[in-house]
Homo-oligomer: A and B are copies of this chain.
Amino acid sequence: MPLVVVGSVALDSVETPKETRENILGGSAVYFAVAASYFTPVRLVGVVGDDWPAEHTELLKSRDIDLEGLQVVEGGKTFRWRGRYMDNMNDRETLDVQLNTLAGFDPQLPEASRRAPFLFLANGSTVTQLKALEQSLGPKLAVADTMDLWINTEREQLDEMLKKIDGLVLNDSEAKLLTGDENLVRAGHKVREMGPSFVVIKKGEHGAMFFSKHETYVLPAYPTERVVDPTGAGDSFAGGMMGYLAEQNNFDPKTLKTAMAYGILVASFTVEDFSLDRLINITREDLQRRLEDYQHMLSF
């Protein structure tokens, strides 16, 4: 089933202890869309400037990602982010943010996107997420991501959005910030009590936790030696998860757990190289093989 993602499209500059890359393809909606494209057709809603390289458009189109909802602002510049990873490859520092066209982003969902049954509001301003949600015509499943910035600055809108969505995906420190609870199991359920039917807490290299009224579980990350660039891992996780749910056109507990596993595995490929360089070079069969390894790893 069609899946819509609304979020940022970016040119990232990433500094790691070993190497720096300038102006590479990034953004929450981009990582999400490419990850989800292994499972289902994706419609991306976002904004860029006229500095946006045509090759990126071609790459996304080649992955069956519809760009009807991607606004190109003439004379505008694309959102840029620069960050540096520390030696442990988990901690990172944001060195520079140039919002550019993202600052005035007013999402416009094309007709086909309004009618899409699966909707993901990728990381971005809660105000923008709410604007997109209002245009969606009763999706079967609406899930959002958020981050510390919006928890701190748009809490009222976030509380409103939490009552309108089916699921929320956020990372561990954000769950603690949102609830004031340092225990992740309690924090996950407290977020769930704010509105969504389910909550996913991303723990980076430690995997992800799932919370619904009747379930609490954790799945570990896929252990990998090769961590080149963790940028986009969380967005790829969400893309793998939502992509699988849309493909299955189902979100019962068993499907949700398998979707969590696919999210973890897609993210494990993303971090193996800069930008989308690794993720675009795998096949569904590679994912399938890693899923089997992962299931074997968790069986005893």
Q: A257 contacts B300, CB within 8 Å? A: yes
In angstroms, Cα B145 to Cα A173, docked, is 30
CB-based contact A225/B185 at 8 Å: yes
Q: For residue A209, which residues in chain B have a CB less than 8 angstroms away from its CB?
A: 223
Given known pairs A220-B218, A220-B220, A223-B218, the reply for A87 and B182 (CB within 8 Å) is: yes
When all copies of this chain in the complex are counted, the total is 2
Interface centre among A207, A225, A260 (most CB of B within 10 A): A225
Given the complex, which residues of B lie within 8 Å of A206, measured CB to CB? 203, 206-207, 220
Instruction: Tell me the complex Cα distance, A209–B217, Å.
Output: 18
Kindly state whether residue A299 has any CB partner on chain B within 8 Å: yes
A94 contacts B by Cβ under 8 Å: no
Q: Give 8 closest A-B pairs by Cβ, nearest first.
A: A206-B206, A298-B298, A257-B300, A88-B182, A217-B297, A218-B220, A185-B225, A220-B220
Q: Verify B297–A223 contact, CB threshold 8 A.
A: no
Shortest beta-carbon distance, A268 to chain B, in Å?
Answer: 11
Interface size class of A (residues with CB under 8 A): 20 to 34
Asked whether, in the complex, the Cβ of B219 is within 8 Å of the Cβ of A298, the reply is yes
Give Cα distance in the complex from A261 to B299, angstroms. 10
Q: Can you give 14 A-B contacts (C-beta < 8 A)?
A: A89-B183, A183-B227, A184-B205, A185-B223, A186-B225, A206-B207, A207-B220, A209-B223, A217-B223, A218-B297, A219-B298, A257-B300, A295-B300, A298-B299
Asked if A153 is an interface residue, CB under 8 A from chain B, the answer is no
Tell me which residues across on chain B come within 8 A of A182, comparing CB atoms.
87-89
A225 contact set on B, CB distance < 8 A: 183, 185-186
Interface 1/0s, chain A 241-279, versus B by CB < 8 A? 000000000000010011011000000000000000000
Within the assembled complex, what's the spacing in Å between the Cα atoms of A182 and B91?
A: 12
Residues in B neighbouring A216, C-beta threshold 8 A: 223
CA separation between A89 and B220, bound complex, in Å?
21
- Best-buried of A87, A219, A223, A260 by chain B (most CB within 10 Å): A223
| CB-CB nearest in chain B for A296 | B217
Query: Counting chain B CB atoms within 10 Å of each CB, which of A218, A225, A257, A300 scores highest?
Result: A300
